[in-house]
Amino acid sequence: MDKIVLITGTSTGIGKACALYMDQLGFTVYAGVRRSDDGTAMKKQASERLKIIIVDVTDEHAIANAVKQIQTEHGRLDALINNAGIGIGGPLELMDTKVIQGVFNVNVVGLLAVTKAFLPLLRSSKGRIINIGSSAGYLAFPGACAYCGSKFAVRAITDALRLEFKHFGIKVILVSPGAVESAIWDKGKAYKEDLRDKADMEIGQRYDTLRRFGDSLYTDLKKIPAIEAAKVVAEALTSAHPKRYYVVGKDAKGARKVSYLPAALLDWIILRGINKFSQHEEVINME
């Protein structure tokens, strides 16, 4: 029996790669986008099995319509891949509270809302839920508290739901990629640049070292092709005995390892790395 798979956030990056790759594997893929135009180009690259479906994870009406459509057309859902996410961040003092709320509304509340809405279909099929996390769900960096907080939350949610849904026969799995080629990087960089442009000069200067540190990460991190993450997601979907956690990319695996270090040592390592970008003798106290 062909698997019916819903993937949220398929306009670009990992979501798009997952939709196209799973279509190639022969699954019936519902590629979730916020606007129908976002799926036009992808549809041209896929088979007739792939269907574009409107799923804005912050819109309960859109979610309900998506449930109704899949229920009407197939009567079941074998897998939900919660990929939709926002990757923007910055120093807390510079971020608008509404932007912070937006990050959590998409990355956390939206994931929960979609999962809850599709639970009856997933329960009847004893399906799988694959949540797309991040290396930021293992290792938090200053200057990215909102994004890291949302991804730590995704990891906790996955752990809780894995146990909560176990007696339904539903497997809940976390896939945590590191740096992946995606438009999310450009959007995040543009947001930080806009923050700096709009910030009061005195306040902006307080975070100048963090800015240079962040710019260096953006430039130096080796980003893997999104298809590499998509292949791991497909493994989590098709394996008879899937792992609880999949970590994709050297940087993500490294982040997970160092996250087990004593907090004092980890703080020292991170602050030492940031201070390398200081134009002053010492901006951030490492004691």
DSSP secondary-structure letter at 260? T
H helices, E strands: number in the chain: 12, 7
Q: Of the listed 21, 138, 147, 246, which one is catalytic?
A: 147
From residue 199, give the alpha-carbon distance in Å to each of 11, 90, 118, 130, 207.
31, 12, 42, 38, 11
Please say if 218 is a catalytic residue: no
- Cβ contact 162:115 at 8 Å: no
**Residue partners of 242: CB distance under 8 A and separation at least 6:** 128, 171, 173, 235, 236
**Residue partners of 265: CB distance under 8 A and separation at least 6:** none
Taking the CA atoms of the chain, what radius of gyration do you get in angstroms?
20
Task: Please identify every residue annotated as catalytic.
Answer: 147
